[in-house]
């Protein structure tokens, strides 16, 4: 049995920039594993140079589910040239771009930490609704709120049949996938791990249902929570 910390995460907007876009930024519908690493580090008070080694690789197992249908919007944003004037009020050069955002995002995050001290600290901060640094959904202007759901015992499983996975899951875990009516399946290649210089060391194809419905799949491994839910890690 392993203890899993579960918390909800939401905000007005989110922007998890796709790594292949520049002047017309597009967003993933759900936070990549690297974004969750930074957010958990902000709650615990870990600095930029501290949270990556603390949560990289097998040090942290992270899963995320969509709690209600995800939708995207685009807004116009002005980029300003700060090199042309010393005072902000004198800046005249602006470039307008179309910024893609997730509207009314709401996620459920599942966390297993190998470091017991960090596990206890995260649980304590979430339960008290406290954080050291301000958590945000992708970019610093999009402040996040969170609430502690609980800590649950979980058992590693290698099921010999299809189960309903409530979280997004790594495509490498899927042996077979049942395509069900009235569900919308997406797969996106996301950054999942970083080196200490913030260069991405692992990308993975992540599969999910965009309306928050469970994915019925036969997987090589998953985790069964004591309340009967099945999750898989990114």
pLDDT of residue 64: 97
Cβ(122)–Cβ(43) below 8 Å? yes
The one-character DSSP state at 226 is: T
Please give the model's pTM, rounded to 2 decimal places. 0.92
Structural domains in the chain? 2-70+93-231 (3.30.70.2660)
Q: How many CB atoms lie within 10 A of CB 141?
A: 10
pLDDT of residue 100: 93
Divide the 234 residues of the chain into consecutive groups of 10 and give the mean pLDDT of each group.
93 92 85 95 92 90 92 86 69 81 96 95 97 94 96 90 94 93 93 88 94 94 89 92
pLDDT of residue 85: 61
Q: DSSP letter string over 79-117?
A: EE-TTS-SSGGG---EEEEEEEEEES-EEEEEEEES-HH
49, 142, 152, 178 from 138: Cα distances, Å: 18, 7, 27, 31
pLDDT of residue 198: 83
pLDDT of residue 48: 84
């Amino acid at each position: 049995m392993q203890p899993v910390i579960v918390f909800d995460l939401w905000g007005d907007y989110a922007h998890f920039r796709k790594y292949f876009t520049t002047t017309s930024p597009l967003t993933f519908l759900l936070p990549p594993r690297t974004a969750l690493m930074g957010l958990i580090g902000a709650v615990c008070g870990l600095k930029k140079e501290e949270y990556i080694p603390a949560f990289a690789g097998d040090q942290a197992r992270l899963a995320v589910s969509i709690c209600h249908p995800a939708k995207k919007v685009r807004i116009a944003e002005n980029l300003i040239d700060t090199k042309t004037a010393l005072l902000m009020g004198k800046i005249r050069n602006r470039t307008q771009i179309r910024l893609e955002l997730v509207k009314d995002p709401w996620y459920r995050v599942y966390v297993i930490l190998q470091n017991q001290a960090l596990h206890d600290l995260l649980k304590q901060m979430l339960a008290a609704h406290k954080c050291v640094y301000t958590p945000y959904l992708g970019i610093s202007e999009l402040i996040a709120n969170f609430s502690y759901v609980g800590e649950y015992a979980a058992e590693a499983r290698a099921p010999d049949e299809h189960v309903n996975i409530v979280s997004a899951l790594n495509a490498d875990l899927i042996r077979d996938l049942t395509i069900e009516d009235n569900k919308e399946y997406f797969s996106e290649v996301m950054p999942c791990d970083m080196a200490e210089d913030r260069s991405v060391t692992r990308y993975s194809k992540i599969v999910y249902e965009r309306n928050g419905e469970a994915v019925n799949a036969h997987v090589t491994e998953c985790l069964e929570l004591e309340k009967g839910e099945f999750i898989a890690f990114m």
